[in-house]
Structure formats: C-alpha cells, structure tokens
Amino acid sequence: MVRVVALVYIFRQIAVLGNFLMFRLLAALVLAQLVVVPLARASCDLSQINKSVARSISGIQFDRVRASPVKGLCEATIDTRVFYVSEDGKYLFAGNLVSLQDGRNLTARATGKLTKRYIAHLDKSNMLIVGPRHPKRTLTVFTDVDCPYCARLHDEVPDLVRHGVRVRYLLYPRTGPGTQSYWRAVAVWCSKDPMKAMGIANRGGSLPMKRCVNPVRANFLLGQKLDISGTPTIFTDDGTRINGYLPAKDLLTELGISDTSVSQN
C-alpha cells in the first residue's frame, strides 16, 4: 500500500512538471510489474513444463499438471504414475509426498484416484469376467496362465464369487509377446470355454494352440503402462493395488466383506 501511494505521488509530480512522456513510460513499467509478477506465480502450466522437462529428458510428456500442496511444486501425472516437478520445470522427482501434519501419503492417495478412473474405463471386451451381475465389489486381475500364484488365486475365485465379488481377468503374459506363455494365453482366449481353459493352463495342462483375434498384446501393453512386473497384480474398484497373491479370506477382508456373508445374486 505504501508503495502504491508513493508511486501515485510521483506520477502526480511528473504530470505537474509537464513531463508527459516520462509519465507514460513510468506508468507502463509499473503496470508491467503488477501484471507479470502474479502470472509468474500462477505456474504449473502443462505445456511449459513439458517443454522444459523435454530439454533434459527426451520422451517424457505429462498428461496433466496441477499445483501440489507444496508451494512451488507441481503434481504431474503419466497414466497412473505420479511425479513432482518444480514450477520452472528444472527439478523432477518420483517418490512419496507425505503430510507430516496427519501422516497421509498424498502420493498414494493421488495414485489411487487415478487408478480408480483408469480401471473403471478399461475395455470389458478384453476381459474374462466371472461373478454376479450386481456385485458387492469388483477385482481386476492381471494374470499369467503360467504363473503358479495366479493358479492359486484362480482356484479361490469361486469362493470370492460366492461372497458377491466379480473378478475381471486380463490375460497378461509376463514374458511378453511371441513367447510360449503369450501363445498359451492366446489359446486360452480362443478356446470355446476360456475360463475352463485357463484352469487347465494354470495346472500346466496342454491346450489346442488355437489363434484368433485376441486382446493379449493390448493387455500386455496396458500392463506396461501400469508398471506391472509380476502376477497376479490385483486392482480393487477403489483404485487400491495389490501386488501378488492373497488368499480369498484376506481379499474379502481387504474389500470389507465379511467371510460369513454369502451373496444371493
């Protein structure tokens, strides 16, 4: 306020002296200061940050950038991954941002929200789905037909279904396209009864190696976006990620479903 009053006084003195050109120049400078400074503080601009980061790390393009709870730090996302970048795009780190006031893991919270939206919009036609039409909860499982822990989970899926849980399988060969596990996943998808075929494959049984139009490669690329390196990888419908096998009883606990409650759907 003192600064503004002083500037107004100076302008009046200059005007009185008749130095009109100097008055206009000073006015322009002050207005530029008042306009530019606030804009500089309102950063976290997606385009500018992407340009700045790309000068140092090629190939990185953030999907979205927004202000984080920390002044001068932006939350930047790629698919379901969360990063933090300075407003000028000169500093970047990946890790957990924790509020020391209440102990909340703000990164995990942001990741969960992103994952929930991402999983909810996956193409159901690329899945093998088992469970009630109106489930209490839904699990999305990236599974490898040659994974022993995936086989253990598959054996317990009927128990999950009895408790009102829908399970959505995405065939995900960890070894990648063109490998034996990949073609066995394709054979499962192309069989007359894919769920039965998956059970056979899980037990190490042989399958007719049929081929057809299938989503296995698309599922593999999707898993890469989600940083899936092991199976089973399980996502709950609230965005929680569970890496690895959990017995049905523990999954029900995670989902908030009583082990004694049986669905009638």
- pLDDT tens-digit readout, 93-137: 999 999 999 999 999 999 989 999 989 899 999 999 999 999 999
User: From CA 240, how far away is CA 246, in angstroms rounded?
Assistant: 14
**In this structure, how many other beta carbons lie within 10 angstroms of the beta carbon of residue 73?**
17
Is residue 2 over pLDDT 60?
Answer: no
Query: For residue 73, what are the β-bridge partners?
Result: 86
Nearest to 142 by CA among 159, 122, 162, 158: 122
b/e code 92-114 from CB counts within 10 Å (16+ = b)? beeeebeeeeeeeebbbebbbeb
pLDDT of residue 258: 84
Average pLDDT, the chain: 84
Domains parsed from the chain with CATH numbers: 2-41 (no CATH), 46-119 (3.10.450.70), 123-255 (3.40.30.10)
pLDDT tens track for 174-216 = 999 999 999 999 999 999 999 999 999 999 999 999 999 999 9
Q: pTM value?
A: 0.74
Nearest to 180 by CA among 206, 212, 154: 206
How far is Cα of residue 224 from the mean position of the Cα atoms in its chain? Answer: 12
